[in-house]
Amino acid sequence: MAETSRLSPPADLLEVAKRAWTNAYAPYSGFKVGAALRAESGAIYLGANIENASYTVTRCAEQSAVQAMASNGERRFSELLVFTAAAQPASPCGACRQVMHEFAPEATVYLVNPQGAVKVYTVAELLPDGFALERPA
Ligand code: THU
């Protein structure tokens, strides 16, 4: 389990996640989230939280990034970085954990804030025993 530390996260993912954070659409909560992931090909995909006047259809940043990756035909990622301007780097919600688990339970997740605090986990640490569908015979 991660402790907050000053270790440096991947610089390229941090730069892209900050760009996504800038583009976040969060007029209702005022809480912007930026995410960037490194897919198996080496390509980096980004995602931001995109809120909606109908609150429940808001899309989280991590889900946006995973969906961008999958929409581009990729199915695996090795690292995902979440950037928020929070005193403690924000931790992915339960739904985001399940979305990440679908494609990369062993991926490394970096949670980062502007002060340089970093928390590091694997997806499996964030979501032990995540749901996997067993199809009926
Ligand atoms: N949010 C994310 O983008 N990721 C999470 O894991 C949790 C929450 C967003 C959704 C909403 O726009 C804002 O943060 C406040 O909940």
Q: Using CA atoms, how far apart are residues 21 and 100, in angstroms rounded to an integer?
A: 19
Q: Say which amino acid occupies 10.
A: P
Give the closest residue to 50 by CA, choosing from 28, 72, 70, 76: 28
Residues with Cβ within 6 A of ligand 1?
26, 29, 31, 33, 49, 51, 58, 60-62, 92-93, 96
For residue 102, what pLDDT is reported?
98
Asked if 127 contacts 98 with a C-beta cutoff of 8 angstroms, the reply is yes
Closest C-alpha residue for ligand 1 atom 1: 60
Nearest by Cα to 105 from 80, 134, 72, 135: 80
Which residues have CB under 8 Å from 78's CB, separation 6+? 38, 39, 40, 104, 107, 108
pLDDT at residue 4, rounded to an integer: 64
Ligand 1 centre to CA of 5 (Å) is: 23
The CATH code for residues 11-126 is 3.40.140.10
Tens digit of pLDDT per residue, the chain (137 long)? Answer: 565 665 789 999 999 999 999 999 999 999 999 999 999 999 999 999 999 999 999 999 999 999 999 999 999 999 999 999 999 999 999 999 999 999 999 999 999 999 999 999 999 999 999 999 999 98
Domain residue spans in the chain? 11-126
**To test ligand 1's pocket by mutation, which of 25, 28, 31 has the most ligand atoms within 8 angstroms of CB?**
31
Residue 129, burial from CB neighbour count under 10 angstroms (0-12, 13-18, 19+) = exposed
CA distances from 131 to 6, 65, 127, 135 (A): 32, 20, 9, 13
Measured from the CA of 91, which atom of ligand 1 is nearest?
Answer: 6
